[in-house]
Structure 1
Amino acid sequence: MSQHLSRIEWQRAAHPTEADTFSRNHAATLNGGQTVKLSSAVDYKGDPDAADPEQMLLTALASCHMLTFLAVAEVKGLRVERYVDNPVAHLEKNAEGRMAVTRIDLSPQVSFSGDNQPDAEALDKLHASAHRNCFIAHSITSKVTVTPVTA
Structure 2
Amino acid sequence: MTGESAHLYRASVRWRHTSGDFVGNTYDRAHEWAFDGGIVVPGSPSPTIVPLPYSHEDAIDPEEAFVAAIASCHMLTFLGIAAKRRVAISSYEDEAIGEMTANAKGRLWVSRVTLNPRLTYPGTPPSEEELARLHHLAHRACFIANSVLTEIVVAGLGPDHP
Provide the C-alpha distance between the structure 2 equivalents of 1:20 and 1:131, rounded to a whole number of angstroms: 40
**Structure 2 CA distance, aligned partners of 1:148 and 1:123?**
11
Shift >4 Å, 4+ stretches: none
Q: 1:93 matched to which residue of 2? A: 102
Deviation at 1:148, TM superposition (A): 4.9
Following the alignment from structure 1 to structure 2, what is the Cα–Cα distance between the partners of residues 102 and 24? 25
Task: Specify which of 74, 79, 88 is matched with residue 70 of structure 1.
Answer: 79
TM-score calculated relative to the size of structure 2: 0.84
- 1:121 aligned partner: 129
Larger fraction in strand: 1
Q: Which amino acid aligns with 2:119?
A: V
Where do 5+ consecutive residues of structure 2 fail to align?
1-5, 158-162
Q: Does 1:133 align with 2:141?
A: yes
Matches within 5 A, 1:47-86: 47-86=56-95
Identify which of 25, 33, 37 aligns with 2:38.
33
Identity %: 34
Determine the C-alpha separation between the residues in 2 that align with 1:28 and 1:63: 18
Q: SS in structure 2 opposite 1:28? A: strand
Structure 1: state its 5+ residue gaps.
Answer: none
Deviation by residue 1:5-60 (Cα, 9 ceiling, x = unmatched)? 11100000225xxx961111000101221001000001213200001000000000
How far apart, in 2, do the equivalents of 1:132 and 1:72 lie? Answer: 11
Q: What is the total number of aligned residue pairs between the two structures?
A: 145
Amino acid at match of 2:153: T
Q: Give the distance between the partners of 1:79 and 1:34, measured in 2 at CA.
A: 31
